[in-house]
Amino acid sequence: MLRTALALSLLALTAPAFAETAAPVAAHAHDHAQASAATTYDSRFVFLEGTRNFRDLGGMHTADGKTVKSGLFFRSGPLGSLSDKGKADFAKLHVARIVDLRTTMERKSDTYSQQAAFGDVYWTRDYAMSMGDMGSLFSDPSKLTGENMRTMMTMAYRKMPKEQVPAYRELFASLVAGTGPVVVNCTAGKDRTGIATALVLTALGVPYETVKQDFLLSNGAPGMNTLSASISPMLSRLPADVTAPLIGVDGAYLDAAFDQLRKDYGSIEGFLDRELQVGPEQIGRLRARMLR
Protein backbone atom coordinates (compact mmCIF):
# COMPACT_ATOMS: atom_id res chain seq x y z
CA MET A 1 0.00 0.00 0.00
CA LEU A 2 1.18 3.51 -0.70
CA ARG A 3 2.83 4.98 2.36
CA THR A 4 0.72 7.48 4.27
CA ALA A 5 3.55 9.97 3.84
CA LEU A 6 2.69 10.11 0.15
CA ALA A 7 -0.84 11.19 0.95
CA LEU A 8 0.35 13.72 3.46
CA SER A 9 2.93 15.28 1.18
CA LEU A 10 0.22 16.04 -1.44
CA LEU A 11 2.52 15.91 -4.41
CA ALA A 12 1.46 17.84 -7.50
CA LEU A 13 0.81 17.23 -11.15
CA THR A 14 3.58 17.04 -13.72
CA ALA A 15 2.29 15.66 -17.05
CA PRO A 16 1.08 18.86 -18.74
CA ALA A 17 4.08 20.72 -17.38
CA PHE A 18 6.40 18.67 -19.58
CA ALA A 19 4.76 20.44 -22.51
CA GLU A 20 5.23 23.88 -20.95
CA THR A 21 8.71 23.63 -19.50
CA ALA A 22 9.70 26.88 -17.84
CA ALA A 23 12.23 29.10 -19.53
CA PRO A 24 15.25 29.99 -17.37
CA VAL A 25 14.21 32.63 -14.83
CA ALA A 26 16.68 35.49 -14.49
CA ALA A 27 19.47 32.93 -14.18
CA HIS A 28 22.59 33.73 -12.27
CA ALA A 29 25.56 31.71 -11.04
CA HIS A 30 25.32 31.18 -7.31
CA ASP A 31 28.58 31.59 -5.41
CA HIS A 32 27.92 28.55 -3.25
CA ALA A 33 27.11 26.05 -6.01
CA GLN A 34 29.40 23.06 -5.61
CA ALA A 35 29.06 21.62 -9.10
CA SER A 36 28.42 22.93 -12.58
CA ALA A 37 24.77 22.76 -13.55
CA ALA A 38 23.82 20.66 -16.54
CA THR A 39 22.55 22.69 -19.46
CA THR A 40 18.96 21.72 -18.58
CA TYR A 41 19.27 23.18 -15.08
CA ASP A 42 18.64 26.78 -14.13
CA SER A 43 21.84 28.15 -12.61
CA ARG A 44 20.04 29.02 -9.38
CA PHE A 45 20.16 25.36 -8.35
CA VAL A 46 22.62 24.65 -5.55
CA PHE A 47 24.01 21.11 -5.66
CA LEU A 48 24.08 19.60 -2.17
CA GLU A 49 24.72 15.88 -1.79
CA GLY A 50 21.82 14.13 -0.08
CA THR A 51 18.92 16.41 -0.92
CA ARG A 52 16.83 17.37 -3.92
CA ASN A 53 15.52 20.51 -5.61
CA PHE A 54 17.66 22.93 -3.59
CA ARG A 55 17.78 26.37 -5.12
CA ASP A 56 18.34 30.04 -4.46
CA LEU A 57 15.48 32.45 -5.20
CA GLY A 58 17.87 35.27 -5.97
CA GLY A 59 18.15 36.83 -9.41
CA MET A 60 14.45 37.11 -10.15
CA HIS A 61 13.15 40.50 -11.32
CA THR A 62 10.23 42.45 -9.88
CA ALA A 63 7.67 44.39 -11.89
CA ASP A 64 9.38 47.68 -11.00
CA GLY A 65 12.80 46.56 -12.21
CA LYS A 66 14.43 45.49 -8.97
CA THR A 67 16.15 42.14 -8.42
CA VAL A 68 15.83 39.59 -5.61
CA LYS A 69 19.17 39.32 -3.81
CA SER A 70 20.89 35.94 -3.86
CA GLY A 71 21.96 34.05 -0.75
CA LEU A 72 18.95 35.10 1.38
CA PHE A 73 16.11 32.70 0.55
CA PHE A 74 16.37 29.04 -0.46
CA ARG A 75 13.83 26.29 -1.19
CA SER A 76 14.51 22.57 -0.97
CA GLY A 77 13.48 19.00 -0.35
CA PRO A 78 14.39 17.34 2.99
CA LEU A 79 17.77 18.21 4.49
CA GLY A 80 18.25 15.52 7.14
CA SER A 81 19.93 13.10 4.75
CA LEU A 82 22.68 15.44 3.57
CA SER A 83 26.01 13.68 3.18
CA ASP A 84 29.02 14.90 5.13
CA LYS A 85 30.03 16.91 2.07
CA GLY A 86 26.47 18.18 1.70
CA LYS A 87 26.46 19.34 5.32
CA ALA A 88 29.80 21.09 4.86
CA ASP A 89 28.54 22.86 1.74
CA PHE A 90 25.26 23.75 3.48
CA ALA A 91 27.20 25.29 6.38
CA LYS A 92 28.78 27.74 3.93
CA LEU A 93 25.34 29.26 3.30
CA HIS A 94 25.18 30.47 6.95
CA VAL A 95 21.47 29.69 7.23
CA ALA A 96 19.72 31.37 10.18
CA ARG A 97 16.36 29.62 9.89
CA ILE A 98 15.02 26.35 8.42
CA VAL A 99 11.23 26.06 8.14
CA ASP A 100 10.27 22.40 7.66
CA LEU A 101 6.75 22.03 6.25
CA ARG A 102 6.54 18.24 6.58
CA THR A 103 3.86 16.60 8.71
CA THR A 104 4.59 14.81 11.97
CA MET A 105 4.24 11.44 10.24
CA GLU A 106 6.52 12.40 7.36
CA ARG A 107 9.25 13.43 9.78
CA LYS A 108 8.83 10.26 11.86
CA SER A 109 9.19 8.10 8.74
CA ASP A 110 12.43 9.88 7.84
CA THR A 111 15.59 8.04 8.83
CA TYR A 112 17.32 11.34 9.52
CA SER A 113 16.26 14.14 11.84
CA GLN A 114 16.62 17.70 10.61
CA GLN A 115 16.18 18.94 14.17
CA ALA A 116 19.11 16.85 15.40
CA ALA A 117 21.21 18.01 12.46
CA PHE A 118 20.48 21.75 12.66
CA GLY A 119 19.46 22.49 16.24
CA ASP A 120 18.23 25.97 17.13
CA VAL A 121 17.92 27.24 13.56
CA TYR A 122 15.33 24.54 12.82
CA TRP A 123 11.56 25.12 13.05
CA THR A 124 8.68 22.71 12.48
CA ARG A 125 5.29 21.88 13.93
CA ASP A 126 3.24 18.78 14.70
CA TYR A 127 0.25 18.41 12.41
CA ALA A 128 -1.53 16.03 10.03
CA MET A 129 -2.52 17.26 6.60
CA SER A 130 -5.99 16.63 5.27
CA MET A 131 -5.96 13.63 2.94
CA GLY A 132 -9.08 14.68 1.06
CA ASP A 133 -10.00 12.00 -1.49
CA MET A 134 -6.52 10.44 -1.53
CA GLY A 135 -7.45 7.43 0.62
CA SER A 136 -10.55 6.46 -1.35
CA LEU A 137 -8.72 6.98 -4.62
CA PHE A 138 -5.98 4.50 -3.77
CA SER A 139 -8.39 2.01 -2.20
CA ASP A 140 -10.10 1.43 -5.57
CA PRO A 141 -7.69 0.64 -8.45
CA SER A 142 -10.36 1.53 -11.00
CA LYS A 143 -10.19 5.13 -9.80
CA LEU A 144 -6.44 5.38 -10.37
CA THR A 145 -6.49 7.48 -13.52
CA GLY A 146 -4.56 10.55 -14.50
CA GLU A 147 -7.75 12.58 -14.70
CA ASN A 148 -8.80 11.64 -11.17
CA MET A 149 -5.33 12.43 -9.88
CA ARG A 150 -5.42 15.85 -11.49
CA THR A 151 -8.85 16.58 -10.02
CA MET A 152 -7.71 15.49 -6.57
CA MET A 153 -4.56 17.57 -6.72
CA THR A 154 -6.46 20.65 -7.88
CA MET A 155 -8.58 20.43 -4.75
CA ALA A 156 -5.50 19.81 -2.61
CA TYR A 157 -3.84 22.97 -3.87
CA ARG A 158 -6.95 25.00 -3.10
CA LYS A 159 -6.78 23.85 0.53
CA MET A 160 -3.04 23.83 1.07
CA PRO A 161 -2.35 27.53 1.78
CA LYS A 162 -4.83 27.66 4.66
CA GLU A 163 -3.52 24.40 6.09
CA GLN A 164 -0.02 25.83 6.09
CA VAL A 165 -0.84 29.18 7.72
CA PRO A 166 1.22 28.58 10.92
CA ALA A 167 4.28 27.54 8.92
CA TYR A 168 3.96 30.25 6.30
CA ARG A 169 3.58 32.82 9.10
CA GLU A 170 6.86 31.61 10.59
CA LEU A 171 8.55 31.72 7.19
CA PHE A 172 7.55 35.33 6.56
CA ALA A 173 8.44 36.36 10.12
CA SER A 174 11.92 34.90 9.66
CA LEU A 175 12.43 36.67 6.34
CA VAL A 176 11.17 39.99 7.69
CA ALA A 177 13.36 39.69 10.82
CA GLY A 178 16.40 39.53 8.56
CA THR A 179 18.73 37.65 10.92
CA GLY A 180 20.19 35.63 8.05
CA PRO A 181 19.39 33.32 5.13
CA VAL A 182 16.19 31.26 5.35
CA VAL A 183 15.42 27.81 3.92
CA VAL A 184 11.92 26.40 3.46
CA ASN A 185 11.56 22.69 2.72
CA CYS A 186 9.15 19.76 2.53
CA THR A 187 9.34 16.20 1.19
CA ALA A 188 9.77 17.09 -2.47
CA GLY A 189 10.38 20.82 -2.18
CA LYS A 190 7.72 21.56 -4.77
CA ASP A 191 4.12 21.63 -3.43
CA ARG A 192 3.89 23.17 0.05
CA THR A 193 7.31 24.68 -0.55
CA GLY A 194 6.24 25.81 -4.02
CA ILE A 195 3.24 27.71 -2.68
CA ALA A 196 5.31 29.22 0.13
CA THR A 197 7.89 30.44 -2.36
CA ALA A 198 5.22 31.82 -4.69
CA LEU A 199 3.73 33.84 -1.83
CA VAL A 200 7.10 35.31 -0.86
CA LEU A 201 7.95 36.22 -4.44
CA THR A 202 4.53 37.79 -4.90
CA ALA A 203 5.04 39.87 -1.76
CA LEU A 204 8.36 41.03 -3.22
CA GLY A 205 6.61 42.22 -6.38
CA VAL A 206 7.74 39.49 -8.80
CA PRO A 207 5.19 39.15 -11.66
CA TYR A 208 3.00 36.07 -11.46
CA GLU A 209 4.20 34.52 -14.73
CA THR A 210 7.78 34.69 -13.44
CA VAL A 211 6.63 33.19 -10.14
CA LYS A 212 5.02 30.35 -12.06
CA GLN A 213 8.18 29.73 -14.06
CA ASP A 214 10.08 29.24 -10.82
CA PHE A 215 7.36 26.88 -9.61
CA LEU A 216 7.74 24.76 -12.75
CA LEU A 217 11.51 24.41 -12.33
CA SER A 218 10.85 21.53 -9.92
CA ASN A 219 10.15 19.33 -12.94
CA GLY A 220 13.36 17.45 -13.55
CA ALA A 221 15.23 19.37 -10.86
CA PRO A 222 18.46 17.87 -9.45
CA GLY A 223 17.68 14.91 -7.22
CA MET A 224 14.01 14.64 -8.20
CA ASN A 225 14.74 11.31 -9.88
CA THR A 226 15.00 9.87 -6.35
CA LEU A 227 11.55 11.02 -5.30
CA SER A 228 9.44 8.04 -6.36
CA ALA A 229 11.69 5.48 -4.68
CA SER A 230 11.82 7.52 -1.49
CA ILE A 231 8.03 7.63 -1.29
CA SER A 232 7.02 4.07 -2.18
CA PRO A 233 8.06 1.20 -4.49
CA MET A 234 4.40 1.06 -5.52
CA LEU A 235 4.84 4.10 -7.70
CA SER A 236 7.13 2.24 -10.08
CA ARG A 237 4.34 -0.26 -10.73
CA LEU A 238 1.72 2.32 -11.68
CA PRO A 239 1.29 3.76 -15.19
CA ALA A 240 3.21 6.94 -15.87
CA ASP A 241 0.04 8.94 -16.52
CA VAL A 242 -1.20 8.00 -13.04
CA THR A 243 2.00 8.78 -11.17
CA ALA A 244 2.67 12.00 -13.06
CA PRO A 245 0.33 14.05 -10.84
CA LEU A 246 2.30 12.92 -7.78
CA ILE A 247 5.90 13.43 -8.81
CA GLY A 248 5.93 16.74 -10.67
CA VAL A 249 4.29 20.15 -10.80
CA ASP A 250 1.93 21.93 -13.16
CA GLY A 251 1.16 25.60 -13.42
CA ALA A 252 -2.56 24.91 -13.19
CA TYR A 253 -2.14 23.88 -9.56
CA LEU A 254 -0.51 27.11 -8.52
CA ASP A 255 -3.28 28.88 -10.46
CA ALA A 256 -5.84 26.99 -8.37
CA ALA A 257 -4.18 27.91 -5.08
CA PHE A 258 -3.99 31.60 -5.94
CA ASP A 259 -7.52 31.62 -7.38
CA GLN A 260 -8.91 30.22 -4.14
CA LEU A 261 -7.03 32.79 -2.06
CA ARG A 262 -8.44 35.61 -4.19
CA LYS A 263 -11.96 34.21 -3.79
CA ASP A 264 -11.59 33.90 -0.02
CA TYR A 265 -9.57 37.04 0.76
CA GLY A 266 -10.09 39.34 -2.21
CA SER A 267 -6.40 39.29 -3.12
CA ILE A 268 -3.13 37.56 -2.30
CA GLU A 269 -2.23 40.61 -0.22
CA GLY A 270 -5.46 40.09 1.74
CA PHE A 271 -4.39 36.55 2.64
CA LEU A 272 -0.90 37.73 3.62
CA ASP A 273 -2.34 40.44 5.85
CA ARG A 274 -5.20 38.58 7.51
CA GLU A 275 -3.61 35.16 7.99
CA LEU A 276 0.17 35.68 7.98
CA GLN A 277 0.37 39.11 9.66
CA VAL A 278 2.21 40.45 6.62
CA GLY A 279 0.78 43.87 5.89
CA PRO A 280 2.19 46.90 4.06
CA GLU A 281 4.78 47.59 6.79
CA GLN A 282 6.12 44.02 6.73
CA ILE A 283 6.14 43.94 2.92
CA GLY A 284 8.09 47.19 2.91
CA ARG A 285 10.69 45.75 5.28
CA LEU A 286 10.85 42.55 3.27
CA ARG A 287 11.48 44.43 0.03
CA ALA A 288 14.05 46.73 1.62
CA ARG A 289 16.03 43.74 2.81
CA MET A 290 15.65 41.31 -0.07
CA LEU A 291 15.68 43.52 -3.19
CA ARG A 292 18.41 45.50 -4.89
> How far is Cα 22 from Cα 211, in angstroms, rounded to an integer?
10
Q: CATH no. for residue 241?
A: 3.90.190.10
Lowest mean pLDDT among 8-22, 31-45, 175-189, 233-247: 8-22
pTM assigned to the model: 0.83
> Could you read off the pLDDT of 137-161 as tens digits, one per residue?
666 777 788 888 888 888 899 999 9
Q: What is the pLDDT of residues 251-268, one digit of tens each?
A: 999 999 999 999 999 999
DSSP classification of residue 29: -
| Amino acid sitting at position 268 | I
Q: Where would I find the H helices in 131-279?
A: 134-139, 146-163, 165-177, 192-204, 208-216, 227-231, 240-247, 251-265, 268-276
59-99 confidence digits (pLDDT tens) = 999 999 999 999 999 999 999 889 999 999 999 999 999 99
> Domain range spanning residue 242?
4-290
CB 94 within 8 A of CB 181: yes
| CA pseudo-torsion sign 124, 125, 126, 127 | negative
User: How many domains are contained in the chain?
Assistant: 1
